[in-house]
Structure 1
């Protein structure tokens, strides 16, 4: 006897030729079987198929996934939006690689495949979501317990659960609601990576391919614009061969910038003093000797740095073997006295310098 299943509630067996499930009343006229060439009805089609084939259920003709693609397509669409916000840095940047845009396309393609219902759509969706989940875990490898990474991982798991087995109506719509909520939470967490990190937190990565630098910021630090830094630090204007990138931890009053300039022929002392003046500082302010970042090389020079807001810190310069001038400046604001400000600035300088790599 052929075992037939309702794709909506799982009721079995379904009488041959039935137009609706006798248990839940869900109609069958929307299924692919009813859309064959010539609009052949099920009772006639049954004569041409194997008596042991599953008519409703499994993947031979249809499944609960392909019969009701709406909930999983909605979750995939919301997931595509969440990945677009992340890949494009729209509301906050985790400095993910550019191939992250591929996950946006993957979600959209899987949603389209499920809606069109052509071929082994369920297997395709399962394989695609397993790949996406693997990529999500790889992106979270540095801080797997950070809330933003946990949210994206759960979003992938919910989408995967919607294409596993034969989800009933309760499971479909509960999972859809949970998936839409997770997509929203993921986007919100992107806007506040420093405030909601835990267990190692999210470390932003600043990369300058043309100038050959890679700076992994401490937890809670993020890239800042020239305007966001203006109160506490002046970014030097860009030149033909060099430019600066600003960053900071506004919650703790820590601010900094990295300057990299291709070989200009200047000496280390001259280049470092020009950089200091461009930042609004003046030579002569003593700097407590900080931990020297290895990336600055063996030829280094340091200056104390005091800004108009009262923030204090250090400017460290290095002249690399290829002639590039590198300047790293970090200040701490809000210290009770000069000595405390210098100590806090030096500590912040050392923490930022650990993540600097020059290629």
Structure 2
């Protein structure tokens, strides 16, 4: 190859030096020297021979390499999206926004890990691939350790599947199908994992799964024992009547239907009523009569002035009601009853439920 005075390259015949060689020629027009055996001809084919070869894709990278060549991805977005969704799902779990699994405080580290790995992939510098793979494997191991007591619980299985999907996204260079299918499945798994935290886990008693009931407007948070979950008015009947909500307050029902234990929490904003009058009205709404106070201590959240009374509902269930007025004037009542067929009042269940009550 030689260059003309204008800087344009021209090809020469390797045998006789004839120039220029016509585009697409398979032999020299002057001496007949064939070009088919030349590697340059095989590579170029029918490309113009009077133009220099350039790299076909200067900007393309592969999800491979080493510490020198940088293990980065040509399409880091979908994998980063799955890792970011995973971090969000772990935040919902660690913070107990929908339900608490009683995880240790270091679970927040998995939130940070997912967010950092997503950032590493987006920056696409250094050994991004290796860092992402190691980080996701650590997350999977942590997920397995947290699920050791109930590995087949749906919520634990969902979080493990989320980790596996994240790992699939950072191994090799995903093609278009794996990128977009993995992104869709990853986002779905993240939503499902967080959503399962809000559901009562039937049949996994002892797995440490706890559901939290939160009322932001009325300022309460009730963390239920394992196996307990929120119940509707219809599910409570006929054992317990959930009063209709008013402009001043409202309630939420819960229980463990398998153990025939039912309860409700009632919070009413300050109406100027005395504690005795407010508690009497709550008893009447429940269909019971206010009896003598018990020596059983009230839940700590209700304060030392709260009282505890026995309750027998029209449906035949027996249990306990704690009632008190807070310093801000709110009337709070907590009820736990047991069906008569299950043995009547269960003070241990009442104490356990009351320990999970927090009022802001």
What is the TM-score when the length of structure 2 is the normalising length?
0.58
User: Where in structure 1 are there 5+ consecutive unaligned residues?
Assistant: 1-14, 20-37, 46-52, 88-92
SS of the residue 1:302 aligns to: strand
Residue 354 (structure 1) aligns with: 355
Contact 1:233 1:279 in 2 (8 A): yes
Distance change >3 Å, CA 54–CA 326, structure 1 → 2: closer
TM-aligned CA deviation for residue 220 of structure 1: 0.9
Structure 2 residue 293 is matched with structure 1 residue 293: no
Distance change >3 Å, CA 309–CA 152, structure 1 → 2: same
Deviations 1:234-287 (A, max 9, x none): 112222221111111111111111111122111111111111111122334x67
Q: Which runs of 4 or more aligned residues in structure 1 lie more than 6 Å from their structure 2 counterparts after TM superposition? A: 15-19, 53-56, 59-63, 67-70, 131-138
How many corresponding residue pairs? 286
- Give 1:254's match in structure 2, choosing from 248, 252, 261: 261
Q: What is the aligned-residue RMSD (CA, Å)? A: 5.5
For residues 155 and 288 of structure 1, the distance between their equivalents in structure 2, rounded to whole angstroms, comes to: 49
- Give 1:325's match in structure 2, choosing from 331, 341, 350: 331
SS of the residue 2:324 aligns to: strand
- Give 1:123's match in structure 2, choosing from 128, 132, 135: 128
For residues 247 and 125 of structure 1, the distance between their equivalents in structure 2, rounded to whole angstroms, comes to: 47
Contact 1:304 1:314 in 2 (8 A): yes
- Give 1:236's match in structure 2, choosing from 228, 239, 243: 243
TM-aligned CA deviation for residue 218 of structure 1: 0.9
Bigger drift between 225-234 and 194-203 goes to 194-203
User: Where in structure 2 are there 5+ consecutive unaligned residues?
Assistant: 1-38, 44-51, 93-97, 102-107
SS of the residue 1:341 aligns to: coil
TM-aligned CA deviation for residue 123 of structure 1: 2.6
Deviations 1:68-115 (A, max 9, x none): 989x86x949x969x88x97xxxxx5379xxx9xx9xx99xx7xx99x
User: What are the within-5 Å matches in structure 2 for residues 16-31 of structure 1?
Assistant: none
TM-aligned CA deviation for residue 59 of structure 1: 8.4
Distance change >3 Å, CA 129–CA 260, structure 1 → 2: farther
SS of the residue 1:265 aligns to: coil
Residue 150 (structure 1) aligns with: 156
Bigger drift between 348-357 and 303-312 goes to 303-312
TM-aligned CA deviation for residue 203 of structure 1: 1.2
What is the TM-score when the length of structure 1 is the normalising length?
0.58
Contact 1:258 1:326 in 2 (8 A): yes
Deviations 1:33-56 (A, max 9, x none): xxxxx99455x97xxxxxxx9997
Residue 265 (structure 1) aligns with: 272
SS of the residue 1:233 aligns to: coil
